[in-house]
Amino acid sequence: MDKIIVHGGATLAGSVRISGSKNSALPILAATLLTREPCTISRVPDLSDIHYMLTILSELGCEVERASGTVTVKAEKIRTVAPYDIVRKMRASVCILGPLLGREREAMVSLPGGCVIGDRPIDIHLKGFEALGATTLVEEGNVKMRAPNLRGTTVNLRGKFGSTVLGTDNIMMAAVLAEGTTIIDGAAEEPEVVDLANFLIKMGAQIEGAGTRRIIIEGVKELHGAKHEVIPDRIEAGTFLIAGAMAGREVTLTRTNPEHLQSLIVPLTKAGVSITSQADTVTVKSNGTCRPLHLETLPYPGFPTDMQAQVCAMLATTDGISVITENVFPHRFMHVAELKRMGANIELQGPTAIVNGVRKLSGAPVMASDLRASAALLLAGLQAEGTTEVNRVYHIDRGYESIDDKLNSLGAHIERVKA
């Protein structure tokens, strides 16, 4: 098991290329199950979660080829049972349910694993499948579904803490091969949902309204192969924006989409960070005197929950009192205890973190609890005095392609060693 050693105090400068979106690539790869013809997906990031998804596709009988960020999948003959040993490692593996049900009218998938950031049930997914005509049964840790007659319907996917992205993906993938019209109300509006919809449309699906709260799908009899390039990863881009705001002289992000970053760019600008953008680049300059912020996480286009931990790390050394309320995953504050080990002054009051900025953080051994928390600890280590040892970095490898190499290319001093 690897760990990352961060030597604090370096100043970041230069440019960094943003990888393809993990949260787009995973459901798009799953959607290749919907056709017997080959599909070619480019700009697929090299991540452990992607490896797990490709392994699942292979286990289901797909022919999978991967080279230089491009993946070709041919799902001519597939099985409908996904093994627990692979599925347990990644929550996003649940998104194979929709395409398996849509194409084969049955599926059995083990309940998935993933980050420990609070309760994330798939009951809304199952409600959507049942509305389409599927019978669902959860037993012995497996979800079993059958739908001899998959018919379009109207379903509302809004849950207790907002719309479900994977749920929207799943129902959309099942509905494209259902009979009749499906209307998804309370749909997730994230760019990753739009990216999946665009891929499905290239395959021959009839979808309108992706990116809004109502998606309308006219079922078709079959889909064909297609080629598609995954959108830039807005969470990776946001993480590098925070790195630049904390420790950068001038950092430019290339191959990104500024429009997808507005929910982060706007508050950072209010905090006093200088940010400029062009068609596919964003440049951030730190002025060293950020102002405190009051933020609350919300589904897109609101401030993303996947950036909460990283912003918390930045605000830990921002003079004044900042307040962050977590509305999406109210228990997603496991990074706070580790930041406090480094000297941060943070108090939790239910789903709200009160951050009283300190002058400096001190390097310390810390433990990554989940994907975004690990990124936050890495960022905190960049600014801390001394050396920070981040353990359990397999979390960070789930969602960031070569983040240590990319930060080193900007001037950081980071080592990856065997624990």
Output the CA–CA distances (angstroms, integers) from residue 357 to 93, 287, 291, 314, 354, in the order listed. Answer: 39, 16, 10, 9, 10
**Is 115 known to be catalytic?**
yes
Output the CA–CA distances (angstroms, integers) from residue 341 to 200, 306, 345, 371, in the order listed. Answer: 46, 22, 10, 19
- Active-site pick, 39, 95, 115, 290: 115
Alpha-carbon gap, residue 310 to 14, rounded angstroms: 20
Q: Which two tokens stand for residue 185?
A: 């109300």
Please identify every residue annotated as catalytic. 115
